[in-house]
Chain A
Amino acid sequence: MSAHPALLLPAAKDLAAALPASTDVAVIGGGLAGCALAYYLARAGVDVVVVERGELNREASGTNAGSFHFQIAIHQLTGSDGDADAARLHEDVRLHADAADVWSGLEDELSADLGVHVTGGLMVAETDDELRTLIRKQRIERDAGLETELLTGRELRDFAPYLAGDLTGAVYCGREGHANPLLAAPAFAARAIEAGALIRTHAPVLDVEEASGPGGTRFRLRTGAGDITAGRVVNAAGAWAPEVAGLSGLSLPVYSDGLHVNVTEPRERILTPMVQHIGRRLTLKQAANGTFIIGGGWPARPERPPARYSVRWDSAAGNTAVAVRVVPALRDVRVMHMWTGVIAFTDDLLPVVGEYRGLPGYYLCLASTGFTLGPIIARTLAEHLAGRSGGRLPAGYAPDRVPALTRG
């Protein structure tokens, strides 16, 4: 259990503060990336304002299941070419190992209970083919410095007796775990405000203009809560990043889908590690309060605004079928509710982080399916914006790698 205060939230009056006329860095989007950026920038002494169109943490940042995914997942493997996967994923896996460090120190850093639990994680295989894929991916992880362990047969049975007896194998990563996605971004926001950041909710960005001046390009943001000029802009709008980019004439290939998650009634602990599947869509864990959270990438149905996504019953049925296949003891556990969230991703499923050279001063901070990576990419980008030497982001994350990112 965390020794930190239960609920660290920004005050309503701070979130309704008037926008200043100008700032150094304007961040668009009050999700995990935006709130973490505000925190790390303010701590580095950089003048920062976050504008959020609604409430904080309401989209992908707050509707994912809070898992730390450090192992390579099925959707990251092309399946055809092991060497290409290795080259593409090498730096990515290494950054995930660094992300594990950030998460394990985050509750102390923010003095807040974020529900961080390092439980370890299992990625299971059901067939011999899947076991071969596990072996291949584990080699990439090992070469990149992420400690994982392959378990089969008796060893797996002893380590994880709750798994179905006929699974062919699993890879265990001791660093995986989860945090409470409902509390991480608000805690970042509260500490950011303490450090001098301004975070304004209910301030949709309506237009972004550029004006050249003596100090270079400046950006003028017209928002629902007034205008503000900024030396630099960070687009951290997640699934809505393409719309925000469009205000600056940028075409940004970021896509979004609706995601289905099931939560069960609380039960006595039977399961410590998170459980994933290398061949089927499953992420399963038992939270600290005893509920099982079951997801893994099953779709939700898009709805007309203002609704976002509704539950698809076939997703519930398919998702729970995989869950009881892998952990049979779940059969009689009752699903208490289902929620839907949004998930944003790119063509290569890697984040887009850094300055877009085609528009100097315009930055992107988008983690593709990225609760895990949100804090570390925000911290690294903040170090860069503050002019400090810090961690390096993988070259594969650079906005300029995205061929379809164009202006005009």
Chain B
Amino acid sequence: MRGAAATGREQSCDLLVIGAGPAGLAAAATAAGHGLRTLVLDERPAPGGQVYKQPGPGFRILDPARIGRDYLRGTELARRARESGAELRAGTEVVALRGTDAVVVESGTSYPVNARRLLIAAGAHDRPVAFPGWTLPGVVTAGGAQALVKASRVVPGNRVAFAGSGPLALAFPAQLRHYGVNVVLVLESGPRPGPAALAGIARAAAGNGELLRDAAGYRWQLARYRVPLRYRRIIVAAEGDGRVEEIVHAAVDAAWRVVPGTQQRVAVDTICLGYGFVPADELLRLAGCAFGYDEDLGGTIVQRDDWTRTSVPGVLAAGDVAGVRGALSAADQGCLAGLRAAADLGALTETQAEQLARPVRARLARKERFRAALAPLYAVGPGIYELAAPATVICRCEEVTRAELDAAIASTGDVNVIKSYTRAGMGLCQGRNCRRQVAALVAASTGMSIADVPLPTPRPPARPVALAALADDSIRDEGLFIRD
């Protein structure tokens, strides 16, 4: 793309991978291993993504064996990617896309990268949930707390309540406890797994032993530390003077709607929320990919074929960005994407690619059966989007309350018009935190399903970018609204 200043950086490649998590690293290792000029970009200072997060610069690992399996997996994936010949550029942000070309911001300057194939593997972020008090200092997301603990070795809070859901949700409080965090209460909005559900999981679990062991291990760890674990309960409010001092939690039904009369109060100074993840889909939306909907995978989900191809020619999507399935599945999807790019660009024949993909697809199918068996247990209930009171801020960036959104929704059901009236979603986070909540309000008011509420128009840049990094004095003014 014109308009991004030249900096002497490599400006073209065969495969451009955005995101150095499990999917991106596996794709890079595969593609570069088959001879593709592969460039991997990641906004973090080190590769590994969220799950396989590596310590930031300034931290040195003294004893890798003690730091955990995820760290070692991340190191291994990054090593494989590097040894395959792929180039990793950490600390880079992709701010705009057109087709398979990207504008990259790095060290205060921007440059274009022209790629023949583009893989978006940007991962996922915590599912934001708004309730009265959710914007108080002391409320952190599981991903945020995990990042703090893993990358910076900083422990949040003195008395921590965890609330969340999902097969691996208990990993967060167990991990926090492991690092010395005083977790005083764990709330799981899903049900206590009953015998029938466990039997179903066991049937689907063939080849997924590691996942099952993980889930059991987390529960065991919590029990060992005597952390109270309560099922079918959520946090409905946080209160405090200037920061979290107390929470109200309540029992919920299968739709995650509060059962009246079950409210209880607990004094805590930190709330850690882990209601699962949603795809970080802004680049997919900027690329113009078509979307479908699957609540269990995180809501709006990019449409793909069985080679990870999106509806936009040349653009692939792999890992949690294409539906939250976890790190192991992401690496396999990345492998498929790498094979696809290699076949597309002539480094592999179609037959070779098919052969190499077969075992990968078999593994993915096993994981998918396991996930499908677990999903109903932890399906996100609509009640989680109905907690905000009129004065609750829904859009933090622009400080828009539920009452203001309700006023706009009384005038129109069009999400873009609601955004224009209230500014909800126009701030720094570009709607990542309020989009689902606004869609839920529109759905509730119009009677339409949340799946049918359209996405607001995506706007570049995908990340804020300094004017100096953007500006290019050589661009000629073409003279708009002057006719020849």
Contacts and interface: CB of A to CB of B under 8 A. Distances in A.
Contact of B478 (A55, A299, A345): A299
A268 to B, nearest CB: 16
A242 B154 CA distance: 63
A331 interface: yes
A317 B5 contact: yes
Nearest to B446: A12
Interface stretch (A130-138, A225-233, A336-344, A384-392): A336-344
B421 A7 contact: yes
A265 B464 contact: yes
Interface in A322-370: 323-325, 330-339, 343, 345, 347, 349, 369
B59 interface: no
B407 to A, nearest CB: 5
A110 to B, nearest CB: 15
Contact of A334 (B422, B464, B473, B480): B464
A399 interface: no
B372 interface: no
Interface stretch (B180-188, B205-213, B308-316, B409-417): B409-417
Interface in A290-314: 297-299, 310-314
A171 to B, nearest CB: 20
A62 B1 CA distance: 28
B137 interface: no
Most buried by B among A297, A325, A347, A369: A297
Given A265-B464, A311-B96, A336-B427, A9 B475 contact: no
Given A7-B421, A297-B480, A314-B3, A338 B461 contact: yes
Contact of B411 (A186, A255, A333): A186
B420 interface: yes
Contact of A12 (B4, B5, B412, B421): B412
Interface string B1-40: 1111100000000000000000000000000000000000
Main secondary structure of the interface of B (DSSP, over half): loop
B302 to A, nearest CB: 18
Interface residues of B, number: 47
A257 B480 contact: yes
A10 B410 CA distance: 8
A247 interface: no
A317 B421 contact: no
A395 interface: no
B481 A369 contact: yes
B56 to A, nearest CB: 22
B473 A186 contact: no
Identify whether the interface residues of A are mostly helix, strand, loop, or mixed.
mixed
Contact of A9 (B408, B471, B472): B408
Contact of A318 (B412, B464, B476): B476
A336 B426 CA distance: 8
Contacts of B112: 313
A264 B5 CA distance: 20
Interface string B446-484: 000000000000011100111110111101111011110
Contacts of A148: none
Given A7-B422, A183-B421, A339-B459, A298 B477 contact: yes
B472 A317 contact: yes
Nearest to A7: B407
Contact of B481 (A56, A255, A313, A339): A255
B43 interface: no
A235 interface: no
Chain A: interface size category:
35 or more
A373 interface: no
B410 A12 contact: yes
A11 interface: yes
Contact of A320 (B404, B411, B470, B483): B470
B147 to A, nearest CB: 22
A112 B417 CA distance: 18
B1 A313 contact: yes
A75 interface: yes
Most chain B C-beta atoms within 10 Å of own C-beta, residue among A10, A56, A336, A339: A336
Interface in B117-169: none
B479 to A, nearest CB: 8
Interface in A166-187: 182-183, 186
B430 interface: yes
Given A11-B410, A297-B481, A338-B460, A316 B466 contact: no
B481 A343 contact: yes
B247 interface: no
B174 interface: no
Given A7-B422, A58-B417, A317-B471, A345 B481 contact: yes
Given A186-B411, A255-B483, A343-B481, A318 B459 contact: no
Residue with the greatest number of chain A CB neighbours at <10 A, chosen from B2, B4, B417, B459:
B417
Contacts of A339: 459
A347 B484 CA distance: 10
A321 B480 CA distance: 17
B428 interface: yes
Interface string A5-16: 011011110010
A281 interface: yes
A86 interface: no
B483 A347 contact: yes
A150 B410 CA distance: 48
Given A264-B467, A281-B477, A313-B103, A337 B472 contact: no
Contact of A337 (B3, B460, B473, B475): B460
Nearest to A259: B480
A170 B473 CA distance: 21
A299 B475 CA distance: 12
A310 B96 CA distance: 11
Contact of B471 (A12, A281, A312, A323): A323
A71 interface: no
List 7 A-B pairs, minimum CB-CB distance, nearest first: A318-B475, A314-B3, A317-B3, A317-B472, A334-B464, A9-B411, A321-B471
Given A7-B404, A317-B475, A332-B468, 7 more contacts: A9-B411, A255-B483, A298-B480, A317-B3, A317-B5, A317-B470, A323-B471
Interface of B: 1-5, 96, 98, 103, 110, 112, 404, 407-408, 410-414, 416-417, 420-422, 426-428, 430, 459-461, 464-468, 470-473, 475-478, 480-483
Interface of A: 6-7, 9-12, 15, 55-58, 62, 75, 182-183, 186, 255, 257, 259, 263-265, 280-281, 297-299, 310-318, 320-321, 323-325, 330-339, 343, 345, 347, 349, 369
15 contacts: A7-B408, A9-B407, A9-B412, A55-B412, A264-B467, A297-B480, A314-B2, A317-B475, A318-B477, A323-B467, A330-B467, A335-B466, A335-B467, A336-B428, A345-B481
